Structure 1
């Protein structure tokens, strides 16, 4: 593996072996569009990671856990502190409020669609971290980055429900936490009448097994409206494939 991965793995392995209860991999960005301020952080979110990259991530988490430590990773979005030179297609940075920085860079005020996109990116990153073997995530809410920008009245000048009082300023950071909590835990399918039914991850795993519940199998006869990575699946498509295989196997048994 490349030296950078080898050194990274050794450093975290030595920390774990030294007796730390938890070892956190520092500042990993939730996307490489507007969240990242540089391109040399650990990448867990890009859609086309190489097999070598994925294997290196798994070796990293196992190196931490083999000595009894909890493998943790810090997730961040830099918000209005970013620069067009490090943003995809040279776009402007985003933040809770729009303004022109002292260096002349225009910061775009986030609308609710942008907020939901960022919150989903956090959720995707957490799901990926879980797939790669991390036991815990640290959501970076300090140092003047995006979540802190919403919380601070110095950088949040909004007049809507996301600004003003502390309760309002905390609304977006709490949205991020809510999306993280609900994201990687199940699958939504349509029954034969088109009604959407949500099954938690353990139910879906059971449905893919050799003796699933009949009502779950019946619902899976319909088209899958939405699917998410669960368990140890790195790619959501693999979950859909497994569900379909499990459905046909179950139908044969029944």
Structure 2
């Protein structure tokens, strides 16, 4: 099976295109990519960004869909309204699952989505998303509200679904509590949570990219969405629990870990 990532390049290898392709490989999926931006980046932060011309992003996508039978795709860092427009227009023509990871801020604090692009994401990209995977700060921006409680999480998810996203994974890593709890809202109205122990670590660079890429790989392999989400949670939890110890800042997660260690996720039907 073949998956596609539409995202920025991380020269440090822990996030973006590089993290996505590593995740695809570990999950038995052939990875293709359309690069939206180059970054000069390491575990200490993003030092510079050079966005691709929207027409070149379109050219990459055209070349890929012309030749490959891609069975699922994901987006990561899209950077500008024009790039979002190109990606949304292309994906509207494809009948494959699309996972939208609304990347906005890097671990070191660098802005990865221009402010004016947020509205474009809400208007044209979320309506073509099969599933959207925001963390709490991203969900607050997209939903236009503060999120601190489980009730807030549910309300924000409903706002994102009203914008057109069919399914929502509200990642709970930024919320308080002994455990990290992700809440998943599915198109059929069902809700479930995924709970894992909170890990005290700085090796969290690329967690969102890796998690959304793992969902994409599962969908590319023909898994049902719920199964793909749960398996992706196992993938990223293993990657966090068994760090590589690379770099002097926010180190990358361990993409090798899923196939080397067992990792349990507690799933609770709401």
Provide the TM-score with structure 2 as the length reference.
0.29
Larger helix percent? 1
Larger strand percent? 2
* Bigger Rg, structure 1 or 2: 1
Provide the TM-score with structure 1 as the length reference.
0.30
